[in-house]
């Protein structure tokens, strides 16, 4: 009676290796999904931060001119900075997800089916038809850009409507003299 070769499906060693590979695959897919969950949480955090910045600006617009002038422009710049950070983190998560799904693809080559790396990607047109599929990063990138446009437009309006130094109403010479005496 001859023993099965180690790479034959009926060989117990082969079955054990396949079982371990499948467990690693399931674990890795779960880890990739967790990265996507963290990415989603990051977006929610940035949307919350932008809501706070815009609410603060809205409150300042209700206040007197001197307070408003000193705080609105810095808040607009903070908003723009948050947008830049948001884009950079989104791109970082994109690279991390790309690497994770490449590993998933390599693991799938050892399995009977390749649901992510071949089947799903083929059904989505391999990313070549934006009418059929847009990458999540492409969609996610629109949101911070949208906020940047809002902040830049508000900055331009704010700077144009801010009183110029020569337009500020300073007390007359007589009023200052009376004040000092």
State pLDDT tens for residues 126-141: 767 767 777 777 788 8
Sign of the torsion formed by the C-alpha atoms of 136, 137, 138 and 139: positive
The residue segments making up the domain with residue 43 are 12-161
Residues 6 or more apart whose Cβ sits within 8 Å of residue 179: 171
Query: Could you tell me if residue 123 is inside a domain?
Result: yes
Instruction: State the average pLDDT for the chain.
Output: 82
Listed residue (120, 124, 146) closest to 133, CA to CA: 124
CA distance 118 to 98: 14
Query: Could you tell me if residue 128 is inside a domain?
Result: yes
Assigned token pair, 38? 């963290």
Q: What is the DSSP letter of 119?
A: I
Number of domains composing the chain: 1
Instruction: Label residue 173 by pLDDT band (50, 70, 90).
Output: low
Percent of the chain surpassing pLDDT 70: 82
Query: Could you tell me if residue 16 is inside a domain?
Result: yes
Give the per-residue pLDDT at 1: 44
- For 99, other C-beta atoms within 10 Å of its C-beta total 12
Query: Could you tell me if residue 177 is inside a domain?
Result: no
Please calculate the CA angle 72-77-82 and round it to the nearest 5 degrees. 125
Give the per-residue pLDDT at 9: 65
Query: Could you tell me if residue 110 is inside a domain?
Result: yes
Give the per-residue pLDDT at 2: 47
Query: Could you tell me if residue 88 is inside a domain?
Result: yes
Q: Is the pLDDT of residue 6 over 80?
A: no
pLDDT digit string, tens, across residues 59-112? 888 877 777 778 888 999 999 999 999 999 999 999 998 899 889 889 889 888
Q: What is the DSSP letter of 126?
A: G
Residue 42 vs residues 19, 57, 90: alpha-carbon distances, Å: 35, 23, 9
Query: Could you tell me if residue 2 is inside a domain?
Result: no
Percent of the chain surpassing pLDDT 90: 33
């Amino acid at each position: 009676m001859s023993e099965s070769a180690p790479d034959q499906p009926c060989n117990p060693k082969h079955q054990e290796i396949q079982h371990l590979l499948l467990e690693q695959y399931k674990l890795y897919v779960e880890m990739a999904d967790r990265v996507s969950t963290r990415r989603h949480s990051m977006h929610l955090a940035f949307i919350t931060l932008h809501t706070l910045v815009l609410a603060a600006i809205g409150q300042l617009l209700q206040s007197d001119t001197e307070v408003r002038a000193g705080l609105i422009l810095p808040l607009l710049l903070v908003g723009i900075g948050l947008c830049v950070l948001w884009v950079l983190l989104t791109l970082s998560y994109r690279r991390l997800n790309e690497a994770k799904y490449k590993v998933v693809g390599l693991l799938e080559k050892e399995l009977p089916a390749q649901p992510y790396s071949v089947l799903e990607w083929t059904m989505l047109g391999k990313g070549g038809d934006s009418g059929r599929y847009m990458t999540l990063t492409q969609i996610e990138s629109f949101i911070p850009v949208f906020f940047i446009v809002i902040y830049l437009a508000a900055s331009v309006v704010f700077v144009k409507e801010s009183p110029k130094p020569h337009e500020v109403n300073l007390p007359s010479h007589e009023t200052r003299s009376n004040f000092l005496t």
